Amino acid sequence: MIDKEIEKLPGAEAYDTASVIIKYPGGKHAFIDVCRQAPYGYDQRAEVLGTKGMIQTDNMYPNTARVFTNSFTGNADMPFDFFMSRYKEAYIRETEAFCKALVNDEPSPCSGEDGLFALIMAIAAEKSAAEGRWVEFSEIPETIVCTDPLNCKIDFADDKAATEKEEEPAAEKRGFFGFGKKKATAFSQAESQVVKD
């Protein structure tokens, strides 16, 4: 625990450090380590290892200069220390892509489902930490309820009823939007567990 004050926050916000394990059908695994504090900069790295190779992303630095001396080898600067600095180019590109999709009446490259999948994973991790067990992603509702464009939440109460009906989902009848019935995808069949120290 980095700061005991964090324990006063609700739900998953009360964790400052966590490790998440995701098991996919077919034996694939994903491991996510998160920590609120990285004193050396905004640390976000990823690595995918497969049978034919590996891909890895590293932290972004203000410049590409590296120092080599008899006492130090490494980057001349620390990584960017704020997400707006780290992802500046990404934010520009995604805004351009979104505007292009609007102007040309094309689908957005990143759909609402992409964001929903990330949210479902986070909620499953929170549930796993609270209950101390593996949580299947299919346990988390996939229906989003919006009272207006800026106020949306996952609809836990009506998800089961909406997904069991063969007709138009109940959520859509009320003017809300959702992403349809649960599908037996690799994503929905996956499960996660949070490992607490």
Please state the rounded mean pLDDT for residues 85-108.
Answer: 92
pLDDT at 127 over 60: yes
**pLDDT bucket at 184, cuts 50 / 70 / 90:** very low
pLDDT score of 123 more than 90: no
Provide the pLDDT for residue 157.
Answer: 58
Residue 1: alpha-carbon gap to chain centroid: 22
Between β-strands 191-195 and 135-136, what pairing exists: parallel, antiparallel or unpaired? Answer: antiparallel
CB 106 within 8 A of CB 100: yes
Q: Per the structure block, which two tokens stand in for 3?
A: 């700061």
Whether residue 109 is predicted with pLDDT greater than 80 in this model: the reply is yes
Radius of gyration of the chain measured on its C-alpha atoms: 20
Q: What is the pLDDT of residue 13?
A: 81
Look up the pTM and report it: 0.67
The string of pLDDT tens digits covering residues 20-51 is: 999 988 888 999 988 888 788 888 899 999 99
Max avg pLDDT among 80-84, 141-145, 153-157, 166-170:
80-84
Asked whether the predicted pLDDT for residue 168 surpasses 70, the reply is: no
